[in-house]
Amino acid sequence: MNLLLLHPRDFIDRQTVLITDYRAHHIYKYLKPKTGDKLRVGIINENIGTGIVEITEKHRCQLQISPLKQTPPPPLPVTLILALPRPLMLKRILQHATSLGVKHIVLLNTAHVEKSYWRSSDIKPNMLNEQLYLGLEQGIDTRLPELELAKDYKDFMQNRLVNIAQGNRVLLVPDTLQPILEGTDDKTAHTTIVIGPERGLLDTEIDDFLDAGFEKRHLGSRTLRVETAVTAAIARLIK
């Protein structure tokens, strides 16, 4: 936990917060602050600053919050469109993408996405937000990413993609000679990246994205897990 992420509900008055969930336990067990110690804090979608520890117990932590004057880091100009992966992998991907600064993530239903994934309790809003919060805490950020669930593939492709795809349009596939972001690409522009499921996209799905202006790109000759491909692709776009 590089940042204690605060929610409006944590405040018991204008400058005092009381934490009673997993964050309090983490602070007590791993950070082990003493009364008067300072912790880096940030309010979700607001600024970053300092909190002074007043009480620290196993299930309770109270802090006095100083004026928060540090703005969060600028977002990475990336939109990630990702075929919904299995739940455990999804958790890691959301954390990693958020910590790297991605602010728009779409979870897409494609032909090779297991239907059971959409029924998992891990894609309920509270569970998804928990992973985003963990990513923000790791990356010392407060800006919550926008997360979309696109269960209807046809509707997404016909009605949503045109409004989402910006700048460089990258479709990651293994069967192409073009690597992701060659020297001629504009790294300062927004980039929309599409990453399919581990079993791959259907040829018809690939054609759909090509028709929408996406270009086939690869990450190298090695076969990667989806979570590795996500991190590797995003890392290429960090200045």
- Considering Cα of 49, then 76, then 135, then 144, what sign does the dihedral take? positive
- Residue written as tokens 């075929």? 83
**SS3 at position 105:** strand
When pLDDT is cut at 50, 70 and 90, the band that residue 2 belongs to is very high
One fold for 4-65 and 76-235: no
User: What is the arrangement of strands in the sheet containing 102-108, beginning at the earlier edge strand?
Assistant: 146-150, 102-108, 76-83, 191-195, 168-172, 215-217
Can you give the pTM of this predicted structure? 0.92
For the domain spanning 4-65, the CATH number is: 2.40.240.20
Q: Return the CATH fold of 76-235.
A: Alpha/beta knot (3.40.1280)
pLDDT tens per residue, range 79-106: 999 999 999 999 999 999 999 999 999 9
> In angstroms, rounded to a whole number, what is the distance separating the alpha carbons of residues 156 and 80?
14
pLDDT per residue as tens digits for the range 157-190: 999 999 999 899 999 998 876 777 654 456 568 9
> Which residues make Cβ contacts (< 8 Å) with residue 7, sequence separation at least 6?
43, 44
Domain ranges in the chain are 4-65, 76-235
Angle at 130 between CA 67 and CA 189, to 5 degrees: 75
